[in-house]
Amino acid sequence: MNAIPQAVTLTPDRSPTASAPRWTVAEVEALYQLPLMDLLYRAQQVHRENFNANEIQRSTLLSVKTGGCSEDCGYCSQAARYSTGTEREALMPLDEVIAAAQAAKDKGASRFCMGAAWRGPKDKDLAKVTEMIRTVKGMGLQTCVTLGMLKDGQADELKEAGLDYYNHNLDTDASFYGQVITTHKHADRIDTLGQVREAGIKVCSGGIIGMGESRRNRAALIVQLANLNPPPESVPINNLVPIAGTPMANVAPVDGFEFVRTLAAARITMPTSFVRLSAGRQEMSDELQALCFLAGANSIFYGDKLLTTGNPEADRDEALFERLGLRPI
Ligand code: SAM
Ligand code: DTB
Ligand code: SF4
């Protein structure tokens, strides 16, 4: 077998006695620079050491509070300041959440993720969300919420309600962040992740590819995620869904293989995390999705809608799983 070219050490010491492994941007850029076949081979090795490579986790999303957000995230259909056509809606009543969660469970999802277009939750809103979490958890689904930045004590309330995962994405490299979002900082996002971790909730955090960032920015995002101690249990990698009316409506799409490389880099640097092939899947061919799974993605959003944009129909995903011999977990 040919050795994989290694300009630099590609795997830091991850033995139990080693201090927390730290990846450098140079090391992750070196992964990106590998010939694709070598990179995929390496990602598969790491994947198979830690997971059954034929199993995929499925989470279903529901937007429980859509639109009207105060923040200026340049990619987002829900930011009030951009004319995207997304209507502002009130927090969804509990019975509608229950109906959606039941439908997701019936379709075979293992986790139900509820998203709200907030900078962060107000205490009176949080009380309603904790009720949703308690109810969905009681239906036998894992729970995840994404509510924006948390204030002191809010993570404990979520934990107490039975929350399994909190999603809060770093979104992009700290040095590119200011070109995407100005109304809050990358450091604010790290702070919220710390509060989530401290409360004993599992962390779901990833980012978006295709916002005009460089490969170095992509490598730096992966490093910032992988060097969280511990790394997030769940890492959603989104391919930008361009939204008319936002500043990113016309950004040139990233090459599909570059997206695959990003998933492989996430897999290699975060060996035991679930890496989720997230937004942008509807625009991908079945073959590109299969390459993403080969690169180590082992989770998807399942159901015909993300928050405000489309996702492949559950039946199309079922058929793809069948054709690839993939099993849900
Ligand atoms: N307001 C909360 C927040 O910002 O954390 C939760 C909802 S926000 C919509 C959740 C994540 O969805 C964002 O952090 C971003 O990574 C992803 N996202 C939003 N719009 C997207 C788009 N057009 N394309 C790809 N990913 C997107
Ligand atoms: C994540 O990383 N991606 C999901 C979820 N976490 C909340 C959201 C994707 C949103 C895509 C654009 C939309 O549907 O509005
Ligand atoms: Fe608001 Fe979240 Fe959209 Fe940013 S990503 S505008 S915080 S809903």
Q: Is 311 in the pocket of ligand 2 (CB under 6 A)?
A: no
Q: What architecture is domain 55-328?
A: Alpha-Beta Barrel (3.20)
Q: Strand pairing of 202-204 and 142-146?
A: unpaired
pLDDT of 80 over the 80 cut: yes
Any ligand 3 atom below 6 A from CB of 209: no
Which atom of ligand 3 lies nearest, measured to the CA of 70? 1
- Assess whether the C-beta atom of 117 lies below 6 angstroms from ligand 3: yes
- 200 C-alpha to ligand 1 centroid (Å): 23
Please name every residue paired with 113 in a beta bridge, in sequence order, or none if there are none. Answer: 61, 144
Instruction: Quick: pLDDT tens for 172-208.
Output: 999 999 999 999 999 999 999 999 999 999 999 999 9
Q: Burial level of 143, CB count in 10 A (0-12/13-18/19+)?
A: buried
Atom of ligand 1 nearest to the CA of 307: 9
Q: 145 CA distance to ligand 2 centroid (A)?
A: 12
> What's the confidence (pLDDT) of residue 123?
93
DSSP 84: -
How far is the C-alpha of 134 from the C-alpha of 164, rounded, in Å?
11
> Which amino acid, 261?
R
Q: Is ligand 1 within 6 A of the CB of residue 312?
A: no
Catalytic residues: 69, 73, 76, 113, 144, 204, 276
pTM of the predicted model as reported, rounded to 2 decimal places: 0.94
Cβ–ligand 1 distance for 176 under 6 Å, the answer no
> 35, 264 in Cβ contact below 8 A?
no
Average pLDDT over residues 272-286: 97
Q: Atom of ligand 1 at shortest distance to CA of 236?
A: 16
In the structure encoding, which two tokens stand for residue 71, read together?
Answer: 């923040």
Distance CA 251, CA 211 (A): 6
Using a 6 Å cutoff on CB, does residue 115 contact ligand 1? yes
**Residue ranges per structural domain of the chain:** 55-328
Q: How confident is the model at residue 285 (pLDDT cuts 50, 70, 90)?
A: very high
CB 265 within 8 A of CB 219: yes
Taking the C-alpha atoms of residue 148 and residue 151, their distance in angstroms, rounded to an integer, is: 10
Provide the b/e sequence for 193-227 (b: ≥16 CB within 10 Å).
bebbbebebbbbbbbbbbbbbeebbbbbbbbbbbe
For the chain, the maximum distance between any two Cα atoms, rounded to a whole number of angstroms, is: 61
Candidates 73, 84, 86, 211: which one to mutate for ligand 3, based on the most atoms within 8 Å of Cβ? 73
Q: Which pLDDT band, with edges at 50, 70 and 90, does 47 fall under?
A: very high
The answer on pLDDT for 10 being more than 60 is no
CA of 9 to the centre of ligand 2 (A): 34
Taking alpha carbons only, the member of 257, 297, 261 closest to residue 279 is: 297
Residue 134's closest CA among 219, 126, 199? 126
DSSP state of 165: E
Tokens 């695959």 correspond to: 260
pLDDT band with cut points at 50, 70 and 90 for residue 17: very low
DSSP letters spanning 19-30: PPP---HHHHHH
Query: Please, what is the average pLDDT of the chain?
Result: 94
Per-residue pLDDT tens digits for 151-167: 999 999 999 999 999 99
Strands 111-116 and 202-204: unpaired
Residue of minimum CA distance from atom 1 in ligand 2:
236
pLDDT of residue 70: 97
